[in-house]
Amino acid sequence: MLKSKDLLGLYSLSAEEITEILDGAEEMKRMLESGGKRSELLKGKTLVTLFYENSTRTRTSFELAGKYLGAHEVNISVATSSVQKGETLIDTGETLDSLKIDFIAIRHPMAGAPALLAKHVKASVLNGGDGMHEHPTQALLDMFTLREHYGRIAGLKVAILGDIKHSRVAMSNLFGLRKLGAEVYMYSPSTMMPKELEKLGAHIASSREEAVDGADAVMGLRIQLERMNGGLFPSLGEYARYFGVNDGVMKYAKKDAVILHPGPVNRGVELTPALIDGDRSLILGQVTNGLAVRMSALRLLSQYRENNNL
Ligand code: CP
């Protein structure tokens, strides 16, 4: 059983809760693969997607997850909503609550915005990415993809390379992977590496090769130009040459190591196109798994709501 009405981050979830979401996603994936897109598990419930930042994968898969489980699904376009008239996040949340919404999937540029919203609404809030803080469903789908491929998470070496500083995906993966017993190695230009990540359980490598050496999985992270004030690396070309992942770097990983990336990818910057499209890439599978993971999260939160008369 999940212990909270909301899914805000993996820092606050136990290994048991994470495993329960992954186990549920396995069931959801079997259902999807057998053509089951008409479940009634969330019949009569309503899901709102409220995205203050752009998204393709997360928003679409939350919307489809709600639809496939039988919920009503409404997307609020922030660009054409009353947010543009200055409505606050809390007022927007209380307005949605008054419309008897059950779930709000939110993406927001401010770290902590989903937690603030969750405190003020009866609906269950699912964090679809908040600033540089957490992106829990992305990390859950990454872990689901690794578990599906290797049959386990414990004991895997996962190398995460790229813009660690601005990456909510890196943070959520670090929390989740460590809780399930993986070793997490990180590497980025020093200007993109936050201080004291070791205290959270990361190994900070001093080169790409050290990070990737013996890895079971290599995860590239997007250079988040929108969160930078500039000047963190000389040029995209130099970034690719000195910090990107290519065939030469992958020689240090295990022979069958897999490639992950949360997307969207800057092709030829974080990863070479050959690696993105190659046999070892699980990137498109990650997208499919995102649907199963979000279905599982919605279902478990719905059970929490029923058990707690929400
Ligand atoms: N990985 C991810 O969050 O992608 P979107 O920005 O397309 O949702």
Q: Which residue has the tokens 């649907």?
A: 291
Q: Give the per-residue pLDDT at 78.
A: 87
Same domain, yes or no: 188 and 265: yes
CA separation, residue 176 to residues 72, 75, 171, 240, 280 (Å): 30, 29, 9, 28, 23
Ligand 1: distance of its center to the CA of 6 in Å?
20
Give the closest residue to 282 by CA, choosing from 188, 128, 147. Answer: 147
Give pLDDT, residue 228. Answer: 61
Query: Cβ(107) to ligand 1 under 6 A?
Result: no
The domain of 174 spans: 136-283
With tokens 């995209």, the residue in question is 236
In this structure, the answer to whether residues 30 and 76 fall within a common structural domain is yes
| Distance from the alpha carbon of residue 248 to the mean position of ligand 1, in angstroms | 28
pLDDT of residue 36: 75
Q: What is the mean pLDDT of residues 17-35?
A: 96
Q: Are residues 78 and 108 located together in one domain of the fold?
A: yes
pLDDT value for 54 = 94
Q: Does 288 sit in the ligand 1 pocket, CB within 6 Å?
A: no
Name the percent of the chain lying above pLDDT 90.
85
How would you classify residue 112: left for phi > 0, otherwise alpha for psi between -120 and 50, otherwise beta? left
Q: Of all residues in the chain, what percent are helix, strand and coil, respectively (each to 5)? A: 45, 15, 40
* Confidence class for position 81, pLDDT limits 50, 70, 90: confident
pLDDT tens digit sequence for 161-219: 998 998 999 999 999 999 999 999 999 998 889 888 999 999 999 999 999 999 999 99
- Same domain assignment for residues 175 and 140: yes
State whether 246 and 298 are in the same domain.
no
For residues 173 and 79, membership in a common domain is answered with no
254 has pLDDT over 90 = yes
Express each pLDDT in 120-132 by its tens digit.
Answer: 999 999 999 999 9
Angle between helices 15-33 and 283-307 in degrees, nearest 10: 110
Number of domains in the chain: 2
